[in-house]
Amino acid sequence: MSALISIVSPVYKAETIVSELARRIVESISSVTSNFELILVCDGSPDDSWQEIIKACHSDKRIKGINLTRNFGQDYAIEAGISAAQGEWVVVMDCDLQDDPFEIPNLYAKALEGYDIVFALRKERKDSFLKKLSSKAFYSVFNYLTDTKQDSRIGNFGIFHSKVIHCMAQMHDSVRNFTTMIHWTGFSIGYVDISRERRFDGRSAYSLTKLFSYSKDIIVAFSNKPLTLMVKLGFLLSLISFFVGGYYFVQYMRGITDVNGYTSLIVSLWFLAGLIIMFMGVLGLYLGKIFDNTKQRPHFVISEKVNF
């Protein structure tokens, strides 16, 4: 019998998509093997997504459902799914059908060439201009602050060997980012070019505010470069103040004094006070993440399973 393949998809606000998602995935993977499992994880969706998952599970025992007690977030829903996956190979994909399930055989074929990780590379994205721009801007900042080289054309869609999944299971970071953690493992990576379609139905749950908050969390969680930049900026300001102080000392020794400068003094005070508050805020973010890690709380809580 061929190796078991697990497909994991987090589901949120997708009640009109679930049945079509399951149909396409089953049709696609059946062209490769009949030995598969499809795990749909309902991430506390406020609509009837869980009821649709139950219907899909009843129609095919190879489809399995996990219902989380509340909305924990996409990366935590993925973690819930891959922790339950039994396959030698695990496919991860979003539920909105922007990533075509019929690309799964191509990902699997590429993996059999000797790669432990194969990501789908979006050569054409049918997203809005703002979506593309915000994605590129985020990855530019993220790569700089984390000293990594992650491509904005790469999302969660890919296939991963079970040893990669087991390695991820040993990571206990309170903040999860699936793609970043996969890259961190260091296993061999291959790529398959795909076209990214428009969302099948509905709208993305990620607003600009949520994206900013998410970006802030993972940058702090995966990099200490902001702290290094704070030290460099503090050193630079100290150096500037040293030369400015030297300049005024020379002026004083030459008998040149000027009592003017109230405005520049106030501006400098406000500027330095703002920097100090910002530095304290960044330190607070890091302390907060340390505090979260010390709690050792589970990353997700499951309320119900179907077909396990």
- 98 within domain boundaries: yes
7-16, 19-28, 121-130, 202-211: range with lowest mean pLDDT:
202-211
Structural tokens at position 217: 């969390």
On the question of pLDDT at 1 being above 60, the answer is no
Residue 215 forms part of a structural domain: no
Same domain, 152 and 192: yes
Q: Are residues 48 and 193 in the same domain?
A: yes
Residue 236: C-alpha distances to residues 147, 205, 242 (Å): 22, 41, 10
Domain that holds residue 253: 225-295
> What does the alpha-carbon distance between residue 38 and residue 40 come to, in Å, rounded to a whole number?
6
H-helix or E-strand spanning residue 275:
helix 262-295
Residue type, 68: L
Range in 110-124, 177-191, 237-251, 281-295 with the lowest mean pLDDT: 237-251
Spatial separation of the C-alpha atoms in residues 131 and 133, rounded to whole Å: 6
Pair (83, 164) in one structural domain: yes
Same domain, yes or no: 182 and 277? no
User: Percentage helix, strand, coil, to 5, in the chain?
Assistant: 50, 20, 30
Residue 211 forms part of a structural domain: no
| One domain for residues 289 and 172 | no
Same domain, 49 and 153: yes
Question: Which are the contacts of 151, defined by CB distance < 8 A and separation ≥ 6?
Answer: 121, 139
- Name the band, by pLDDT with cuts 50, 70 and 90, for residue 55: very high
Across 121-130, 148-157, 295-304, least confident range: 121-130
Contact 53, 90 (CB under 8 A): no
Decide if pLDDT at 216 tops 90: no
Give mean pLDDT, residues 69-86.
95
% residues pLDDT > 70 (the chain) = 86
Q: What's the pLDDT at 206?
A: 57
Residue 195 inside a domain? The answer is yes
pLDDT in tens, 136-190: 777 777 777 776 677 777 889 999 999 999 999 888 888 888 988 898 899 999 9
Residue 85's Cβ-side half-sphere holds a number of Cα atoms within 13 Å equal to: 37
Q: In this structure, is residue 185 part of a structural domain?
A: yes
Q: Torsion over CA of 50, 52, 53 and 59, rounded to 10 degrees? A: 150
Together in a domain, 108 and 194: yes
Tell me the pLDDT tens digit for each residue of 91-118: 999 999 988 999 999 999 999 999 999 9
Cβ–Cβ under 8 Å, residues 163 and 187: yes
Give a yes or no: residue 220 inside a domain: no
From the list 151, 177, 4, 187, the residue with the least C-alpha distance to 84 is 4
Number of domains in the chain: 2
Assess whether 136 and 239 both reside in one domain. Answer: no
Q: What are phi and psi of 10, to 5 degrees?
A: -75, 140
192 and 263 in a common domain: no
- What whole-number distance in Å separates Cα of residue 39 and Cα of residue 6? 7
Count how many Cα atoms sit within 13 Å of the Cα of residue 278 in the half-sphere of its side chain.
13
Locus of tokens 């300001």:
237
123 and 68 assigned to the same domain: yes
The answer to the question of residue 219 being in a domain is: no
Neighbours of 129 (CB within 10 A): 7
Domain presence at residue 212: no
- pTM here? 0.78
Contact indicator for 151, 143 with CB cutoff of 8 Å: no
Amino acid 294 reads T
Same domain, 230 and 200: no
CATH code, domain with 25: 3.90.550.10
Residues 180 and 250 in one domain: no
pLDDT of residue 47: 94
Closest CA to 308 of 95, 93, 40: 40
Spatial separation of the C-alpha atoms in residues 102 and 231, rounded to whole Å: 49
Q: What is the mean pLDDT of the chain?
A: 84
